[in-house]
Amino acid sequence: MKPTLLAALLATAALPALAEEVNIYSHRQPELIQPLLDAFTAETGIITNVAFVDKGMAERLVAEGDRSPADLVLTVDIARLTQVVEAGVIQPVQSEVLEANIPEAFRDRNDMWFGLTSRARIVYAAKDRVADGEVTSYEDLASDRWRGRICTRSGTSDYNIALLSAYIAHHGADAAQAWAEGLKANLARKPEGGDRDQVKAIWAGECDISLGNTYYMGEMLGDPEQKAWADSVRIVFPTFEGGGTHMNISGVAMTKSAPNREAALKLMEWLSSDNAQRIYAGTNHEFPVKPGIPTSELVANWGSFTPDTLPLSEIASHRAEALKIMETVDFDG
């Protein structure tokens, strides 16, 4: 062997191996998931790269096709998981670890997506204007006694579409449309803003109750400007008649292109682990999906409730119908 070739081979062997990495497209704000990803890298040595994609994730993955650098998508709810499934840009994942850690109700029946945390779609109620026990069921929100007392974000927001999809699953499309019409008639103002904006409106006296996700309470309490809003309301867990409190999830799916499939699978499985689920519970004010992992002390103080048992896959199957109902009743008009 020529000396020059031998030197080149020795120099190549001396180079450190390229570190494994996972590329993530995320609907979740980077600061919400960075503590998890930092812990994963510290434990495994696998590097994570995150691109925040607020809108158009499915369209972006379709446009990129097989050239997409993304290995995983992280989404904020079941609706967006459904979008990437319907766009044909993700692949099924078979994993005994994921099946063992994540209950069947929180994963796709075809292994296309997996829930990582859950949250309840609850009612924020003014402490000084809504009596204990006055809010009972989702169905009751359409009754006349709430006329002019409700605030909510857009009816076509993913969170409200998921709630209406669950209503369809429980009671059928006709009943769901009547409920949407009744809820619209009870609005104190035109839908606008996010869930925290509705709590601000309660604090300002514009309405008495609003729909929202549980974890926003934790975020408001941690913000000096918004703490007064949070202190003006309490969390109430409505239920469906014959069911429980509506649940949604944040979730993960593997892209069809996934250039780093093995490392991506390691991250998916790690996110369902005890350590990751505890970090989720402590930093994001959400409910762990893995059985046996406790909620944070703050979340536990919001009270106990009975989660609805409808599989999220069934709820997701009514998404298009729910969107059509919201458009038919012109909920935001």
pLDDT at residue 18 in the model: 64
- Residues 305 and 237: beta-carbon distance below 8 Å: yes
pLDDT at residue 55 in the model: 86
pLDDT at residue 11 in the model: 45
pLDDT > 70? residue 6:
no
pLDDT > 90? residue 268:
yes
Nearest to 153 by CA among 142, 143, 161, 145: 161
pLDDT at residue 323 in the model: 96
How many helical (H) and strand (E) elements, i.e. helices and strands, does the chain have? 15, 10
Strands (E), the chain: 21-26, 47-52, 72-75, 90-91, 114-126, 150-151, 209-213, 233-236, 247-255, 287-288
Burial category of 303 from C-beta neighbours within 10 Å (exposed 0-12, middle 13-18, buried 19 and up) = exposed
Helix/strand/coil percent split, the chain, to 5:
45, 20, 35
C-alpha to C-alpha distance for 233 and 203, rounded to whole angstroms: 8
User: For residue range 43-84, what is the model confidence (pLDDT) as tens digits?
Assistant: 999 999 999 998 899 999 999 999 999 999 999 888 889 889
* Rg, Å, the chain Cα set: 22
Q: Looking at residue 93, what DSSP letter applies? A: -
**pLDDT higher at 273 or 29:** 273
User: For residue range 144-154, what is the model confidence (pLDDT) as tens digits?
Assistant: 999 999 999 99
Give the H or E element holding residue 79: helix 78-86
The two tokens of residue 2 are 């020529």
User: Phi/psi of residue 114, each to 5°?
Assistant: -140, 130
pLDDT > 70? residue 8:
no
Place of tokens 């994730």: 57
pLDDT > 70? residue 143:
yes
Least confident of 20-24, 138-142, 282-286: 282-286
pLDDT at residue 54 in the model: 84
Using CA atoms, how far residue 88 sits from 67, 119, 169, 318, in Å, is: 15, 27, 25, 18
Which residues belong to CATH 3.40.190.10 in the chain?
Answer: 20-118+248-295, 119-246+307-328
pLDDT > 80? residue 132:
yes
Topology of domain 20-118+248-295 in CATH is D-Maltodextrin-Binding Protein; domain 2 (3.40.190)
With cut-offs at 50, 70 and 90, classify the pLDDT of residue 40.
very high
Question: Which class is domain 119-246+307-328?
Answer: alpha beta
- Residues 34 and 277: beta-carbon distance below 8 Å: no
With cut-offs at 50, 70 and 90, classify the pLDDT of residue 33.
confident
pLDDT at residue 13 in the model: 41
The alpha carbon dihedral of 161, 163, 164, 169 has a sign of positive
pTM recorded for the entire structure: 0.86
pLDDT at residue 157 in the model: 93
